[in-house]
Every structure is written in C-alpha cells, then in structure tokens.
Amino acid sequence: MRVLITGAAGFLGSHLCDRFLAEGHEVIGMDNFLTGTPDNLAHLVGSPRFRFVSHNVTDFIYVEGPLDGVLHFASPASPVDYLEMPIQTLKVGSLGTHKTLGLAKAKRARYMLASTSEVYGDPEVHPQPETYWGHVNPIGPRGVYDEAKRFAEAMTMAYHRTHGVDVRIVRIFNTYGPRMRPSDGRVVSNFLVQALRGEPLTVYGDGSQTRSFCYVDDEIEGIYRLFQSGEIGPVNIGNPDELTVLELAQKVLSVTGSRSPIEHRPLPTDDPRVRRPDISLARRVLGWEPKIALDEGLRRTLPYFQALVEKQDSAVARTL
C-alpha cells in the first residue's frame, strides 16, 4: 500500500509511520510542525519507502500518484496546546478533515480519522461505549477540540454515505510513550519530567478525576488492526485500566524513585471527571486489547524522558 499520514511528525503519527513502514508499505508523511517535531522522524531520513512533505493540511493537498490510504492524524492533541491554538485546532479538525477526505475520495483511498475520547466530553455514562453521544460544552475553552473532532466524525460519515468513501473512525483515549513532547502539558509527560527534575508534581484539582492510560505500542496495534479491518467504527481504542490522577502521581514517583512533592493547582475548565473506554467492540471485531500495564509502560517510557531531561540540563549548564 501507499499511504498518506498527516501529523506524521507528531507522537502518534510518527509511530504510525513506523508501523506502516515495518509492514512493508510506502508512507508519505505530512506535517507543518505546529506541535510535531522533525526529531520524531529523524530515524526515517534516507528510508527508501518514506517521504516527508511539509504542508498545512487545512490548505488544498496535492499528492502525485496513487494512494491506497489517507490517515488523518494531524491536530494539536494536548489540552494546553489546543487552548493556546484554538483556531488552528478548529481548522485542522474541520478544514483539514474536509481536505483529507477530498483527497481520499479523489484517489479512491481508504480513509482513517483519528478521533478522540473527547467526543464524550465530561461523560455521564461510565465507562464510555461508542453508542454514547457525549456531554460536551460547545462554547467552553475545551470545546474547540471536542467540537472539531465531533464535526470531523460527522464529515467522515457524510463522505462515506454520500460519496462511498471507505472510512474508519478510531476514538483514541489517553495514550503515552516515547516521542511525547516533554512540554506538551499532558499529565504523563508533565509528571515524568517533573519527577526526573525533582520538581513538584502538579496535580490539578484534588486529583480525584480519573483517566485510563494506554501505552503507545498497544494503541498503534489497535489502530493498525482497525485500518486493516472491515469495520467503519467508531471504535474505542484505549486501555480500560482506570486510576485517579493522584494515583498516577504516586505511581510515577515509585517508578522513577523520585522524592518530588505533590502540589495542587487549579482544575482546568470542563476537565472531565472520569474517563474509561468500554472496549468490548474492539475486543469483538478486532480481537484487540491492550497488553502493557501502566507500570511496565512507564518503565518503557522513562529512558526517553531521561535522555531529554539530561540533554536540556546539560544545555543549560553550558550557558552558565
């Protein structure tokens, strides 16, 4: 297959490029480095089946030659990022989805939308099955991401129903692992970096809100299986092992051996109280479930953040 992956320089996008290349496919990676980084693709330079195109996917996308797949993974994905870049977030979810769907239609390619657990908002049904319609505040600061992704799902289904585009929708829950930006503001990256630096772990609110964290290799396996399957979706791909943010902080302290204190900060507006995927559908139709427990995933992630923190600290030391 020859596939286009948008957001290729991002956390999930770059891992997805690796997976398609490992399966023997040809990959065109596209990104504008709004939140992605060339470092995530550095290991692919010179790889014969990989080509990178620098482009903003909210503008018309031109790709020469045939395409078998278009996977739309471009978007700011951390609450801190989409609060800082609300209009870009809305544009990549709306205009970017429209452009990538148009490309998939023109090339008769299979299309995959990277959607999110955020479509469920602050959920009143727990855990969240795909049949739940969600509880989103459209005018809150978080709405820019949630509504963009909800619109993107609607647009994807419209292209499927109207133009017969072969589509897949994956709802991705909190994922962590190597290649997350150390400063992207998400809880796992924040806590690991803070613990490694001996700085306080910033727990927002009282830390009783829950999340369920999936290691990146498990997430990519689920996404790849959905792409290859005959299932349109949406399908939840995430780890149903739920814990509070405070419990996560304690786990990070024990995995890193850090003696950082815990400090409470204000809870962001509309921060979901609970989140946990119901993955019955993924189990049934994809035969997929996550394999890597949180402790193991954190241990696998640690060396990546250790290397980054050491690099940053030695750069600071050189300037002193």
Q: CB pairs under 8 A, 24+ apart, for 313-320?
A: 313/197
| Residue 247 to residue 249: CA distance in whole angstroms | 5
Nearer to ligand UDP, 192 or 235 (CB): 192
The CB-of-247 to ligand UDP minimum distance in angstroms stands at 11
Beta strands in the chain (DSSP E): 2-6, 26-31, 50-54, 69-72, 110-116, 167-172, 175-176, 201-204, 210-212, 214-215, 235-237, 242-244, 262-265
Identify the active-site residue in 145, 159, 215, 224. 145
Nearer to ligand UDP, 202 or 229 (CB): 202
Which residues of this protein are in contact with ligand UDP, per CB under 6 A? 78-79, 174, 186-187, 190, 202-204, 209, 211, 245, 267-268, 271
Nearer to ligand UDP, 132 or 204 (CB): 204
Nearer to ligand UDP, 112 or 245 (CB): 245
306 in helix, strand or coil? helix
The CB-of-234 to ligand UDP minimum distance in angstroms stands at 17
Closest CA to 290 of 219, 233, 188: 219
Nearer to ligand UDP, 137 or 202 (CB): 202
Question: Residue 88 corresponds to which tokens in the numbers above?
Answer: 């870009």
- For tokens 């190597």, the residue is 178
State the angle between helix axes of 216-228 and 11-22 in degrees (0 to 180), rounded to the nearest 10. 60
Vertex 13: Cα angle to 181 and 195 (nearest 5): 25
Q: Which residues contact 139 (CB under 8 A, 6 or more apart)?
A: none
220 in helix, strand or coil? helix
The CB-of-95 to ligand UDP minimum distance in angstroms stands at 23
The CB-of-204 to ligand UDP minimum distance in angstroms stands at 4
The CB-of-268 to ligand UDP minimum distance in angstroms stands at 5
- Active-site residue flag, 159: no
Q: What positions carry a catalytic annotation?
A: 145
